[in-house]
A and B are shown apart, each in its own frame.
Chain A
Amino acid sequence: MRKTARTTLRFLRRFWRGLREWCGDAAYERYLRSPGTRSGSRPMLSAEKFYVEQLNSRYSRPNRCC
Chain B
Amino acid sequence: MKRILSIAVWIAIAALGAGALGSIALHRGEPLNATWFVVAAVCCYLVTYRLYSAFVAAKVLALDDTRATPCERHDDGRDFVPTNKWVLFGHHFAAIAGPGPLVGPTLAAQFGYLPGTLWLIAGAAFAGCVQDFVILFCSIRRDGKSLGQMAREEVSERGGFIAQLAVLAIMTILLAVVGLVVVNALKSSPWATFTLAMTIPIALLLGLYLRFVRPGRVLEASVMGVALVLFVVVAGQWVADSASWSRVFTLSGVTLAFAIIVFGFAASALPVWLLLAPRDYLSAFIKAGAIFSLAAGILFVRPHVLMPPLTRFIDGAGPVFAGKIFPFCFITIACGAISGFHSLISSGTTPKMILRESHARFIGYGAMLLESFVGVMAMVAACAMPPGVYFAINSPTSIVGGTGDAAAATISGWGYPLQGQTMTDLAHKVGELTLWNRAGGAPSLAVGMSQIFSGTIGGERLLSIWYHFAIMFEALFILTVLDAGTRVGRFMVQDLGGRVWKPFGRTGWMPGVLLSSAIIVGMWGHFLYQGVVDPLGGINSLWPLFGIANQLLAAVALVVATTILMKMGRLRWIWVTLLPMAWLVIITMTASYQKIFDGNPRIGFLSYAKVLAAQIAAGKIPADKIAEMQRLIFNQRLDAAVTGVLAAMILVLIVEALVHWYAILSHRKESVLHESPYIVTRWAADFSGVAHGDD
> Are A and B a genuine interacting pair, yes or no?
yes
Q: How far apart sit A48 and B268, CA to CA, in the bound complex (Å)? A: 21
From A21, A25, A62, contact of B348 by CB (8 A):
A62
Q: How far apart sit A56 and B274, CA to CA, in the bound complex (Å)? A: 11
Assess whether A55 is in contact with B484, with CB atoms less than 8 Å apart.
Answer: no
Q: Which residue of B lies closest to A56 (CB)?
A: B272
Known: A65-B96, A65-B345. A24 touches B216 (CB 8 A): yes
Chain A residues with Cβ under 8 A from B344's Cβ? 61-62, 65
Assess whether A61 is in contact with B87, with CB atoms less than 8 Å apart.
Answer: no
Known: A21-B84, A58-B349, A62-B345. A50 touches B216 (CB 8 A): yes
From A23, A34, A59, contact of B276 by CB (8 A):
A59
Chain A residues with Cβ under 8 A from B99's Cβ? 66
Let me know if A63 is at the binding interface, CB within 8 A: yes
Let me know if A2 is at the binding interface, CB within 8 A: no
From A36, A46, A61, contact of B78 by CB (8 A):
A36
Contacting A at CB under 8 A, from B512-552, are 546, 550
Assess whether A65 is in contact with B77, with CB atoms less than 8 Å apart.
Answer: no
Assess whether A52 is in contact with B273, with CB atoms less than 8 Å apart.
Answer: yes
Contacting A at CB under 8 A, from B210-231, are 210-212, 215-219, 222
Q: How far apart sit A50 and B98, CA to CA, in the bound complex (Å)? A: 27
From B84, B215, B507, contact of A48 by CB (8 A):
B215
Q: How far apart sit A58 and B78, CA to CA, in the bound complex (Å)? A: 10
Instruction: Please encode chain B, from 494 to 511, with 1 for each CB lying within 8 Å of some chain A CB and 0 for all others.
Output: 000000000000010000
Let me know if A33 is at the binding interface, CB within 8 A: yes
Instruction: Please encode chain A, from 26 to 62, with 1 for each CB lying within 8 Å of some chain B CB and 0 for all others.
Output: 0110111111110000100011101111111111111
Assess whether B76 is in contact with A66, with CB atoms less than 8 Å apart.
Answer: no
Assess whether B219 is in contact with A18, with CB atoms less than 8 Å apart.
Answer: no
Chain A residues with Cβ under 8 A from B348's Cβ? 61-63
Q: How far apart sit A64 and B97, CA to CA, in the bound complex (Å)? A: 8
Chain B residues with Cβ under 8 A from A51's Cβ? 210-211, 215-216, 273
Let me know if B341 is at the binding interface, CB within 8 A: yes
Chain A residues with Cβ under 8 A from B215's Cβ? 28, 46-48, 50-51
Q: Which residue of A lies closest to B345 (CB)?
A: A65
From A33, A47, A54, A59, contact of B484 by CB (8 A):
A59
Chain B residues with Cβ under 8 A from A24's Cβ? 216, 218, 281
Chain A residues with Cβ under 8 A from B86's Cβ? 18
Let me know if B189 is at the binding interface, CB within 8 A: no
Let me know if B335 is at the binding interface, CB within 8 A: yes
Known: A33-B77, A48-B211. A55 touches B345 (CB 8 A): no
Q: How far apart sit A21 and B216, CA to CA, in the bound complex (Å)? A: 12
Assess whether A31 is in contact with B277, with CB atoms less than 8 Å apart.
Answer: no
Separation in Å of the A59 CB from the closest CB of chain B?
5
Q: Which residue of A lies closest to B101 (CB)?
A: A66
Contacting A at CB under 8 A, from B73-96, are 74-81, 83-84, 86-87, 90-91, 94-96
Sorted nearest first, the 8 A-B pairs with minimum C-beta distance are A34-B77, A36-B76, A31-B77, A51-B216, A48-B215, A62-B344, A25-B219, A64-B484
Q: A59-B276, A64-B484, A66-B481 are in contact. List 7 more A-B contacts (CB 8 A).
A: A17-B694, A35-B75, A60-B488, A61-B349, A64-B485, A66-B100, A66-B546
10 contacts between A and B (CB under 8 A): A22-B91, A23-B284, A36-B78, A51-B216, A64-B98, A65-B97, A65-B98, A65-B341, A66-B334, A66-B335
Write the residues of chain B forming the contact surface with A, with a CB cutoff of 8 angstroms.
74-81, 83-84, 86-87, 90-91, 94-100, 146, 167, 170, 174, 178, 210-212, 215-219, 222, 271-273, 276-277, 280-281, 284-285, 334-335, 339, 341-342, 344-345, 348-349, 480-481, 484-485, 487-488, 491, 507, 546, 550, 690-691, 694-695
